[in-house]
Structure 1
Amino acid sequence: MKTSMKYIAAAGLTLCGSISMPAAAAWLKAGEQLNVNQSLASHDGRYTAVMQGDGNFVVYRLSDGVAIWNTQTGGSGATHAVMQGDGNFVLYTADNRAIWWTGTTADAGLANEFTVDDVGRAVVMAYAPVWVTNTVTPGGAPAAEPLVFQYGFQFQRGVVYNGPNGNQWIFQTDGNLVLYHNGKPVWASNVTRANGGPALYAVFEGHLTTWNDSGYVWQGTSNQSYPAGFTYQSNESPPVLHADSALFNIQADGNAAIWVAARKWGASTYDPPASNVPPATGPHCIGDPTAPSCTGSGSEYNWTFPW
C-alpha cells in the first residue's frame, strides 16, 4: 500500500468522486530503512520506533517516554533497521552483519511492511486481498493508484465514486450496488429496493454488507479467503489499525477488492487496549449482530442508521 493512494476516510463523506489525502499511518516499506537516530511514528501517532545509537531498536510511548518494547540489542553495533524485499525485518551493523531479525517472508507476491500499531506493538504486516469482484478489464489496463475506502466507510445513495481507468462504484437509488467500467455494469450486488426498506452499505472488517432495520440484506463474502500460499501469525490478533484494518479498493485493473491487514510478526509486549470503551449509541450495529461489539458492550464501530 502506498501513501499516495486516493483515500476516502471512514467519516460519512458524501462527495462525488475521489478525495486525495495522505494515509494516516507511517509504514516502513520494502527496501526502506531507519538509520541511527531516525524514527517511525505509529499509526495513530502515540508511539514511535527509534533506531538508537547504542544499537538498540526501541518502541516508546510518547505520552510519558516509557519504552514499550525493544530488540535487546544495545551494544551490538547495529546501525540500521531494514524492511527487506524478501519480507524480513533486520537490524544490521555498519559492515552489514545481521544482528537481529523477525524471520518473516513475503508471500503470494504481497509486500511486507513494518509499522507500530495503535497499541504500541511493533509489527511486520501485509495487506492481503480477501474478496474480489473478478472483473479484470479484458486486455489489461494502465497502471494507476486505486481509489481506497477505509474500514467503516458508508456508501451514500446516488453518489458516484470515480476510480481509475473509467471504473465507477455506485450505490444506486434502487438499492443496488454496482461496479461500472466506462459506463457498462460489470458487477452488481443484485439487491434492489433493499428488500423493501432503506439500506446502508458499509465496509466492515473485510466484509462488504448491506443493512436495514431487519438486519442483513446482503453480505458480499462468497469468495472471502486469503490468497493461496499466504501465511500470517494469528488471525485472532491482527494489527490494530482501526480504519486502516480493512481497505476497499476500486482498482486500475477493473477489480473492486477488499484488502485486510494481516500480521506476519508482532512484538511480544505492547500496551493493552483501552478498557473504557464508550457504550453503543443506538440500536443498530454494522457487522455480525452476535459479536461482542454488537451486543451492548459498546464499540467504536457502532453506528445509528441515517433514517
Structure 2
Amino acid sequence: MKKISLLLFAALMLQLTLVSAAFAKDTLFVGEQLAAGQSLQSQNGRFNLVMQTDGNLVLYRDHGIPIWSVKTEKSMHRANTFGFDGQAYLMGIYPFYTGINWSSNNYNWFKRSGQVPSGTNYYGDFLVVQSDGNVVIYNSDNPNNIYPVWASDTSGY
C-alpha cells in the first residue's frame, strides 16, 4: 500500500508540474506586480523575465542565459517589486524606504522608435514577454490599433 501511495503521489506531482508549465504567465496588466523571486515566461518557454532577489530585473533565454537587465542589483536600496501601471517599474518597498529604482520611461522609447505618431497615448495596457525574446508594453486604447509604447529591444534570439 505504501508503494502505491508513493507512486500516486509522484504521478500527481508530475501532473501538477506539467500543468504549471502549460499555464505559465507571460503578461502583466495594469496594477499587477511580481515580487522578488517571481517571473513571467514566454509562451514558447524559451524566455523568462525574472524579478531577482538581488533587486535586478533580468530577461533570460534558454534556461539561464541572460540577454537583458535593468542593472539595479547594486542599488543602495534593493528593489523587491516589479510592477506595471502603464509603465514598468522596479520599486523597493520597506518599512524605512519606498522608492522607484528603475522605470521603463515609455515616452523616451516612444520618441526614439518613431513607430507611433506624435500625440498618441504612450501609457501601456499590458506588458508581455514574447516568444521572440522581446519584452513589450502595448497600448490597446483602440482595439483596432494596438501598438508598442516600450520594448526591451531584445527580439531575435
Question: Is contact 1:78–1:93 with CA below 8 Å preserved after alignment?
Answer: yes
SS in 1 for 2:59: strand
2:146 & 2:42 partners in 1: Cα distance? 15
Number of equivalenced pairs: 118
Specify the alignment match of 1:48 in structure 2.
48
C-alpha spacing 1:262/1:99, structure 2 compared with 1 (3 Å)? same
Specify the alignment match of 1:27 in structure 2.
27
Of the three residues 248, 254, 259, the one matched with 2:144 is 259
Specify the alignment match of 1:272 in structure 2.
156
Specify the alignment match of 1:83 in structure 2.
84
Of the three residues 96, 99, 119, the one matched with 1:97 is 99
- Partner AA of 2:104 in structure 1: T
Question: Is contact 1:69–1:267 with CA below 8 Å preserved after alignment?
Answer: yes
- Deviation (angstroms), 1:60: 0.7
User: With structure 2 as the length reference, what TM-score do the two structures score?
Assistant: 0.64
Q: Structure 1 stretches of 5 or more lacking a match?
A: 1-22, 130-257, 274-307
- 2:58 paired with 1:58: yes
Question: Is contact 1:25–1:44 with CA below 8 Å preserved after alignment?
Answer: no
2:105 & 2:56 partners in 1: Cα distance? 18
1:79 & 1:64 partners in 2: Cα distance? 23
- Deviation (angstroms), 1:43: 3.6
Question: Is contact 1:43–1:115 with CA below 8 Å preserved after alignment?
Answer: no
Identity %: 29
Task: Determine which structure has the larger helix proportion and give its number.
Answer: 2
Where do 4+ consecutive residues of structure 1 move more than 2 Å? 23-26, 126-129, 258-261
1:111 & 1:102 partners in 2: Cα distance? 11
- Partner AA of 2:29 in structure 1: K
C-alpha spacing 1:35/1:58, structure 2 compared with 1 (3 Å)? same
C-alpha spacing 1:46/1:128, structure 2 compared with 1 (3 Å)? farther
2:101 & 2:146 partners in 1: Cα distance? 28
State the superposition RMSD in angstroms: 2.7
In terms of Rg, which structure is larger? 1
- Deviation (angstroms), 1:111: 5.0
